Amino acid sequence: MTNPRIKIFCRSFDLRLYRLSRGLYESWGFPCVRLTDQSADGYFRTMLKDTDCDIAINVDEDCFITSREAVMDLVEYVVSNDIANAGCPDGGSFIPRGGNPIVTNPFFNVFNLNLLREQYSHKAEKQFDYFAHQQEMEDAYPKQILAEGRVYHFDQVDREPYYPFFFWQAYHTKTMYLHSKLHPDGWTTILYNQEGKEMCRHTWLARFYSVPSWIVRTFQSTAGKQKQRIDNVIRESYQIAGVVLPVFTFRDECAFRWNTMIRWIIKVPQRIMGWPKKLKKKLNKTR
Protein backbone atom coordinates (compact mmCIF):
# COMPACT_ATOMS: atom_id res chain seq x y z
CA MET A 1 0.00 0.00 0.00
CA THR A 2 1.11 3.53 -0.75
CA ASN A 3 0.05 6.05 1.89
CA PRO A 4 -2.33 3.70 3.75
CA ARG A 5 -5.27 5.31 5.51
CA ILE A 6 -4.66 4.93 9.24
CA LYS A 7 -7.11 5.26 12.10
CA ILE A 8 -6.63 4.80 15.82
CA PHE A 9 -9.41 2.86 17.57
CA CYS A 10 -9.99 2.66 21.31
CA ARG A 11 -12.57 0.48 23.00
CA SER A 12 -13.42 2.61 26.01
CA PHE A 13 -15.57 2.65 29.13
CA ASP A 14 -13.91 5.39 31.20
CA LEU A 15 -13.85 8.82 29.50
CA ARG A 16 -11.04 10.09 31.77
CA LEU A 17 -8.78 7.17 30.88
CA TYR A 18 -9.64 7.56 27.21
CA ARG A 19 -8.71 11.26 27.27
CA LEU A 20 -5.42 10.42 29.01
CA SER A 21 -4.60 7.65 26.54
CA ARG A 22 -5.65 9.74 23.54
CA GLY A 23 -3.50 12.63 24.73
CA LEU A 24 -0.45 10.64 23.64
CA TYR A 25 -1.58 10.09 20.04
CA GLU A 26 -4.25 12.67 19.16
CA SER A 27 -1.63 15.02 17.65
CA TRP A 28 -0.45 12.40 15.13
CA GLY A 29 -2.90 13.56 12.48
CA PHE A 30 -4.94 10.34 12.28
CA PRO A 31 -8.66 10.05 13.05
CA CYS A 32 -9.26 8.80 16.61
CA VAL A 33 -12.34 6.64 17.12
CA ARG A 34 -13.72 5.91 20.58
CA LEU A 35 -15.76 2.69 20.59
CA THR A 36 -18.16 2.50 23.53
CA ASP A 37 -20.73 -0.11 24.56
CA GLN A 38 -19.32 -2.70 22.17
CA SER A 39 -18.83 -6.36 22.94
CA ALA A 40 -15.36 -7.76 23.57
CA ASP A 41 -15.39 -9.38 20.12
CA GLY A 42 -17.79 -7.15 18.18
CA TYR A 43 -15.50 -4.17 18.02
CA PHE A 44 -13.12 -6.04 15.68
CA ARG A 45 -15.97 -6.33 13.19
CA THR A 46 -16.64 -2.60 13.63
CA MET A 47 -13.08 -1.89 12.54
CA LEU A 48 -13.34 -4.27 9.59
CA LYS A 49 -16.52 -2.55 8.40
CA ASP A 50 -14.78 0.82 8.32
CA THR A 51 -13.81 0.87 4.65
CA ASP A 52 -12.26 4.33 5.03
CA CYS A 53 -9.43 2.68 6.97
CA ASP A 54 -6.61 0.43 5.72
CA ILE A 55 -4.54 0.16 8.90
CA ALA A 56 -6.08 0.15 12.37
CA ILE A 57 -3.99 0.94 15.42
CA ASN A 58 -5.97 -0.57 18.28
CA VAL A 59 -5.14 0.98 21.67
CA ASP A 60 -6.92 0.19 24.94
CA GLU A 61 -7.86 3.13 27.14
CA ASP A 62 -5.40 1.89 29.78
CA CYS A 63 -2.59 1.56 27.24
CA PHE A 64 -0.28 4.57 27.00
CA ILE A 65 1.95 5.08 23.98
CA THR A 66 5.47 6.21 24.79
CA SER A 67 6.96 6.45 21.29
CA ARG A 68 5.25 7.56 18.09
CA GLU A 69 8.38 6.64 16.11
CA ALA A 70 8.35 3.05 17.40
CA VAL A 71 4.65 2.61 16.57
CA MET A 72 5.00 4.04 13.07
CA ASP A 73 8.06 1.85 12.41
CA LEU A 74 5.87 -1.14 13.28
CA VAL A 75 3.08 0.08 10.99
CA GLU A 76 5.55 0.37 8.12
CA TYR A 77 6.90 -3.11 8.87
CA VAL A 78 3.39 -4.62 8.98
CA VAL A 79 2.51 -3.10 5.61
CA SER A 80 5.82 -4.04 3.95
CA ASN A 81 5.69 -7.67 5.10
CA ASP A 82 1.99 -8.43 4.51
CA ILE A 83 1.31 -8.95 8.21
CA ALA A 84 -2.35 -8.92 9.20
CA ASN A 85 -1.91 -8.48 12.94
CA ALA A 86 0.93 -7.44 15.22
CA GLY A 87 0.36 -7.72 18.95
CA CYS A 88 1.33 -9.23 22.30
CA PRO A 89 0.62 -12.95 22.90
CA ASP A 90 -2.05 -13.53 25.53
CA GLY A 91 -0.52 -15.48 28.39
CA GLY A 92 2.84 -15.28 26.67
CA SER A 93 6.01 -13.30 27.17
CA PHE A 94 5.63 -11.15 30.29
CA ILE A 95 1.98 -10.27 30.79
CA PRO A 96 0.52 -10.86 34.27
CA ARG A 97 -2.12 -13.44 33.30
CA GLY A 98 -2.48 -16.82 31.73
CA GLY A 99 -4.06 -17.44 28.36
CA ASN A 100 -3.54 -18.98 24.95
CA PRO A 101 -0.47 -17.37 23.33
CA ILE A 102 -1.88 -18.05 19.85
CA VAL A 103 -4.17 -15.11 20.62
CA THR A 104 -2.82 -11.56 20.75
CA ASN A 105 -4.27 -9.64 23.66
CA PRO A 106 -6.04 -6.61 22.18
CA PHE A 107 -4.61 -3.98 24.50
CA PHE A 108 -2.49 -2.97 21.49
CA ASN A 109 -2.56 -4.19 17.89
CA VAL A 110 -1.69 -3.01 14.44
CA PHE A 111 -4.26 -4.57 12.09
CA ASN A 112 -3.86 -4.66 8.32
CA LEU A 113 -7.59 -4.47 7.62
CA ASN A 114 -7.17 -4.87 3.86
CA LEU A 115 -5.56 -8.29 4.32
CA LEU A 116 -8.16 -9.38 6.86
CA ARG A 117 -11.09 -8.28 4.68
CA GLU A 118 -9.87 -10.50 1.82
CA GLN A 119 -10.87 -13.62 3.77
CA TYR A 120 -12.82 -12.68 6.87
CA SER A 121 -16.51 -13.18 7.53
CA HIS A 122 -18.30 -13.69 10.82
CA LYS A 123 -19.59 -17.00 9.49
CA ALA A 124 -16.05 -18.18 8.69
CA GLU A 125 -14.93 -17.20 12.19
CA LYS A 126 -17.78 -19.17 13.81
CA GLN A 127 -17.13 -22.23 11.65
CA PHE A 128 -13.39 -22.34 12.31
CA ASP A 129 -12.44 -25.40 14.40
CA TYR A 130 -9.37 -24.46 16.42
CA PHE A 131 -8.86 -27.94 17.84
CA ALA A 132 -8.72 -29.41 14.34
CA HIS A 133 -5.72 -27.18 13.62
CA GLN A 134 -4.25 -26.73 17.09
CA GLN A 135 -1.22 -28.97 16.69
CA GLU A 136 -0.33 -27.43 13.34
CA MET A 137 -0.63 -23.92 14.78
CA GLU A 138 1.28 -24.83 17.93
CA ASP A 139 4.13 -26.40 15.93
CA ALA A 140 4.42 -23.26 13.79
CA TYR A 141 4.32 -20.91 16.77
CA PRO A 142 7.53 -18.87 17.42
CA LYS A 143 8.39 -20.40 20.80
CA GLN A 144 11.30 -17.99 21.29
CA ILE A 145 8.76 -15.28 22.07
CA LEU A 146 7.70 -17.14 25.22
CA ALA A 147 9.31 -16.62 28.61
CA GLU A 148 11.12 -19.59 30.13
CA GLY A 149 9.69 -21.20 33.24
CA ARG A 150 6.05 -20.38 32.54
CA VAL A 151 3.22 -22.74 31.66
CA TYR A 152 1.34 -21.93 28.44
CA HIS A 153 -2.17 -23.09 27.67
CA PHE A 154 -2.43 -23.72 23.95
CA ASP A 155 -5.60 -25.73 24.58
CA GLN A 156 -7.47 -22.84 26.21
CA VAL A 157 -10.27 -21.64 23.93
CA ASP A 158 -12.80 -19.71 26.03
CA ARG A 159 -10.77 -17.32 28.15
CA GLU A 160 -12.22 -14.30 26.33
CA PRO A 161 -15.07 -13.72 23.82
CA TYR A 162 -12.56 -12.52 21.21
CA TYR A 163 -10.60 -15.81 21.14
CA PRO A 164 -12.47 -17.23 18.09
CA PHE A 165 -11.62 -14.14 16.03
CA PHE A 166 -7.93 -14.43 16.81
CA PHE A 167 -7.86 -18.20 16.23
CA TRP A 168 -9.33 -17.65 12.78
CA GLN A 169 -6.97 -14.74 12.12
CA ALA A 170 -3.82 -16.58 13.26
CA TYR A 171 -4.57 -19.55 11.01
CA HIS A 172 -5.61 -17.70 7.86
CA THR A 173 -3.35 -14.65 7.93
CA LYS A 174 0.12 -13.69 9.14
CA THR A 175 0.65 -12.72 12.77
CA MET A 176 3.63 -10.99 14.31
CA TYR A 177 4.05 -11.66 18.03
CA LEU A 178 5.76 -8.82 19.86
CA HIS A 179 8.13 -8.94 22.82
CA SER A 180 7.24 -7.43 26.17
CA LYS A 181 8.55 -7.19 29.70
CA LEU A 182 7.05 -6.64 33.12
CA HIS A 183 7.15 -3.18 34.69
CA PRO A 184 8.65 -2.93 38.20
CA ASP A 185 5.14 -2.33 39.57
CA GLY A 186 4.45 -6.04 38.99
CA TRP A 187 1.42 -5.51 36.74
CA THR A 188 2.10 -3.17 33.83
CA THR A 189 3.26 -4.66 30.51
CA ILE A 190 5.88 -2.73 28.51
CA LEU A 191 5.54 -3.62 24.82
CA TYR A 192 8.24 -3.37 22.14
CA ASN A 193 8.18 -3.20 18.35
CA GLN A 194 10.01 -5.45 15.90
CA GLU A 195 13.28 -3.58 16.52
CA GLY A 196 13.08 -3.81 20.30
CA LYS A 197 11.99 -0.17 20.75
CA GLU A 198 9.47 0.54 23.49
CA MET A 199 6.05 1.49 22.10
CA CYS A 200 3.61 1.56 24.99
CA ARG A 201 2.75 0.58 28.55
CA HIS A 202 -0.44 -1.29 29.38
CA THR A 203 -1.52 -1.06 33.00
CA TRP A 204 -4.28 -3.73 33.16
CA LEU A 205 -7.15 -3.59 35.70
CA ALA A 206 -8.67 -0.43 34.22
CA ARG A 207 -12.06 -1.68 35.45
CA PHE A 208 -10.93 -0.69 38.95
CA TYR A 209 -9.64 2.77 38.02
CA SER A 210 -12.73 4.81 38.96
CA VAL A 211 -14.05 2.46 41.63
CA PRO A 212 -13.37 3.34 45.31
CA SER A 213 -10.70 1.11 46.84
CA TRP A 214 -12.97 -0.20 49.60
CA ILE A 215 -15.41 -1.51 47.00
CA VAL A 216 -12.61 -3.07 44.97
CA ARG A 217 -11.22 -4.87 48.02
CA THR A 218 -14.64 -6.38 48.64
CA PHE A 219 -14.51 -8.18 45.29
CA GLN A 220 -10.76 -8.53 44.72
CA SER A 221 -8.73 -8.00 47.87
CA THR A 222 -5.40 -7.60 46.04
CA ALA A 223 -6.57 -4.84 43.70
CA GLY A 224 -7.55 -2.00 45.98
CA LYS A 225 -4.84 0.49 45.02
CA GLN A 226 -4.90 0.29 41.24
CA LYS A 227 -5.73 3.95 40.57
CA GLN A 228 -2.54 5.18 42.18
CA ARG A 229 -0.46 2.63 40.26
CA ILE A 230 -2.16 3.46 36.95
CA ASP A 231 -1.71 7.20 37.54
CA ASN A 232 2.00 6.59 38.14
CA VAL A 233 2.30 4.76 34.80
CA ILE A 234 0.41 7.58 33.05
CA ARG A 235 2.85 10.16 34.40
CA GLU A 236 5.81 8.00 33.38
CA SER A 237 4.42 7.53 29.88
CA TYR A 238 3.89 11.24 29.33
CA GLN A 239 7.43 11.97 30.53
CA ILE A 240 8.94 9.34 28.20
CA ALA A 241 6.87 10.59 25.25
CA GLY A 242 7.79 14.21 26.00
CA VAL A 243 4.14 15.27 26.11
CA VAL A 244 2.61 17.61 28.68
CA LEU A 245 0.13 15.84 30.94
CA PRO A 246 -3.33 17.42 30.47
CA VAL A 247 -4.95 19.35 33.29
CA PHE A 248 -8.69 18.76 33.38
CA THR A 249 -11.15 21.54 34.12
CA PHE A 250 -14.25 21.46 36.30
CA ARG A 251 -16.27 21.05 33.11
CA ASP A 252 -14.14 18.05 32.17
CA GLU A 253 -14.69 16.50 35.60
CA CYS A 254 -18.45 16.90 35.20
CA ALA A 255 -18.28 15.27 31.76
CA PHE A 256 -16.31 12.34 33.21
CA ARG A 257 -18.89 11.72 35.94
CA TRP A 258 -21.82 12.05 33.55
CA ASN A 259 -20.19 9.71 31.03
CA THR A 260 -19.47 7.11 33.71
CA MET A 261 -23.11 7.16 34.83
CA ILE A 262 -24.32 6.70 31.24
CA ARG A 263 -21.85 3.87 30.61
CA TRP A 264 -23.07 2.02 33.73
CA ILE A 265 -26.72 2.54 32.78
CA ILE A 266 -25.96 0.84 29.45
CA LYS A 267 -23.53 -1.79 30.76
CA VAL A 268 -25.61 -3.27 33.57
CA PRO A 269 -28.50 -4.40 31.30
CA GLN A 270 -25.95 -5.73 28.78
CA ARG A 271 -24.34 -7.85 31.50
CA ILE A 272 -27.70 -9.15 32.72
CA MET A 273 -28.67 -10.12 29.16
CA GLY A 274 -25.42 -12.07 28.89
CA TRP A 275 -26.00 -14.17 32.01
CA PRO A 276 -27.99 -16.96 30.27
CA LYS A 277 -25.19 -17.49 27.76
CA LYS A 278 -22.56 -17.63 30.52
CA LEU A 279 -24.69 -20.03 32.58
CA LYS A 280 -25.16 -22.29 29.56
CA LYS A 281 -21.39 -22.36 29.00
CA LYS A 282 -20.74 -23.30 32.64
CA LEU A 283 -23.35 -26.07 32.50
CA ASN A 284 -21.77 -27.48 29.32
CA LYS A 285 -18.39 -27.62 31.09
CA THR A 286 -19.79 -29.62 34.00
CA ARG A 287 -21.33 -32.29 31.79
Q: How many domains, the chain? A: 2
pTM of the model: 0.91
Residue 215 falls within a domain, yes or no?
no
Would you call 9 helix, strand, or coil by DSSP?
strand
CB 182 within 8 A of CB 93: no
- Does one domain contain both 131 and 270? no
Could you tell me if 182 and 119 lie in one domain?
yes
d(Cα 247, Cα 253) in Å, to the nearest integer?
Answer: 10
What tens digit of pLDDT does each residue of 44-60 get? 999 999 999 999 999 99
132 and 262 belong to one structural domain: no
- Which range of residues forms the domain containing residue 268? 249-287
Residue 218's pLDDT is 72
Mean pLDDT score, 200-204:
95
Residue 28 lies in a domain: yes
Q: Are residues 13 and 99 in the same domain?
A: yes
* Cβ burial 69-103 (10 Å sphere, 16+ → b, else e): ebbbbbbebbbeeebbbbbbbbbbbbbeeebbbbb
Angle between helices 163-172 and 130-140 (to 10 degrees): 60
pLDDT tens for each residue of 66-79: 999 999 999 999 99
Looking at residue 222, its pLDDT comes to 63
Both 51 and 193 in one domain: the answer is yes
Q: 122 pLDDT exceeds 80?
A: yes
Q: Are 10 and 111 in a shared domain? A: yes
64 lies in the same domain as 126: yes
Residues 179 and 276 in one domain: no
169 shares its domain with 285: no
Q: Domain with 61 in it: what CATH number? A: 3.90.550
267 and 199, same structural domain? no
Q: What is the percent of the chain where pLDDT is above 90? A: 71
Classify residue 235: in a domain, yes or no: no
Clarify whether residues 274 and 169 are in a common domain. Answer: no
Bridge partners for 189 per DSSP:
182, 202
8 Å CB contact between 178 and 192: yes
Give a yes or no: residue 275 inside a domain. yes
